[in-house]
């Protein structure tokens, strides 16, 4: 993922709601959202280059999502594992979010810069490793995350969080408004842009929620809704070069 808004324990029906976009080079192979045959209960897209995922759900409504950190001055450690394995490994395991986050905190320096959210029925935890390892409980509320730390007030993060907050104040059933927000191509004003070390023209283009490009852009939009009993759904819209729509999948999540 490169952008997400997360509502954690703020709604009488939904324990967790997530809306996010994955931006990536179009040449990098990926499999569509689907159950993973080797891991009962795991539903996610799959990175076919490194084998992990960017966001997914597991048994009992467990959720994991990762973003990279944009800092061209920081290189991945030699032999760094795939950040997508952080999502897949948690969802394949039986570890609770708190235990998994605590264990990962001690190993975080092995990975290229990342932000990770892990959620189970009881807690949601954030783990990051840039500029130094950090791990904390995520409080109830609406949170945003892009290619900087959790709740950094980037313009596109604030916009997506506002839409999610408004959606939760209504019936919170029809996801049309969330899909529309994930398709927003609005560019932020220069004065509002974060400074992540990339050229200004690129910083402008990356300020859009939905990035349209021939070589690089938004590859997938994902919505996740988990009820307090662990049921819910996960949905994905997929896109090719220049934002070409490549299909949609929605999978219901049964009770444990």
pTM of the model: 0.97
Q: How far is CA 3 from the centre of its chain?
A: 6
- pLDDT tens readout for residues 198-223: 999 999 999 999 999 999 999 999 99
For the packed helices 84-92 and 97-105, what is the interaxial angle rounded to 10 degrees? 140
- pLDDT tens readout for residues 62-105: 999 999 999 988 888 999 999 999 999 999 999 999 999 999 99
CB of 226 within 8 A of CB of 212? Answer: no
How many residues are given for the chain?
256
With a pLDDT cut of 90, the percent of the chain lying above it is 96
Which phi and psi angles does 215 have, rounded to 5°? Answer: -100, -35
User: Counting beta carbons within 10 angstroms of the beta carbon of residue 144, is it exposed (0 to 12), middle (13 to 18) or buried (19 or more)?
Assistant: buried
Name all domains of the chain by residue range, CATH numbers in brackets.
3-253 (3.60.60.10)
- Helix H or strand E segment including 146: none
Q: pLDDT under 70 in the chain at which residues?
A: 256
Q: What pLDDT score was predicted for residue 154? A: 97
Which phi and psi angles does 244 have, rounded to 5°? Answer: -60, 130
The per-residue pLDDT of the chain, averaged, comes to 97
CB of 19 within 8 A of CB of 4? Answer: yes
- Helix H or strand E segment including 127: strand 124-128
């Amino acid at each position: 993922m490169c952008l997400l808004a997360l509502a954690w324990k703020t709604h009488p029906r939904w324990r967790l709601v997530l809306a996010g976009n994955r931006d990536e080079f179009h040449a990098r192979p990926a499999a569509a959202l689907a159950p993973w045959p080797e891991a009962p209960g795991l539903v996610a897209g799959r990175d076919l280059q490194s084998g992990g995922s960017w966001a997914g759900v597991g048994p009992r409504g467990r959720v994991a999502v990762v973003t990279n950190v944009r800092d061209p001055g920081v290189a991945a450690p030699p032999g760094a594992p795939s950040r997508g394995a952080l999502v897949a490994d948690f969802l394949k395991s039986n570890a609770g979010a708190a235990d998994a986050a605590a264990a990962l905190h001690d190993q975080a320096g092995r990975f290229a810069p990342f932000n990770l959210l892990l959620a189970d029925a009881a807690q949601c935890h954030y783990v990051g490793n840039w500029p130094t390892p950090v791990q904390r409980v995520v409080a109830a509320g609406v949170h945003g995350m892009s290619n900087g730390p959790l709740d950094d007030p980037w313009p596109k993060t604030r916009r997506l969080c506002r839409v999610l907050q408004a959606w939760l104040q209504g019936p919170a059933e029809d996801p049309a408004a969330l899909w529309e927000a994930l398709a927003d191509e609005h560019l932020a004003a220069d004065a509002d842009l974060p400074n992540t070390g990339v050229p200004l023209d690129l910083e402008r283009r990356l300020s859009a929620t939905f990035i349209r490009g021939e070589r690089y852009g938004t590859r997938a939009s994902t919505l996740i809704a988990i009820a307090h009993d662990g049921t819910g759904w996960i949905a994905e819209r997929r896109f090719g070069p220049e934002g070409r729509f490549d299909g949609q999948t929605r999978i219901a999540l049964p009770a444990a």
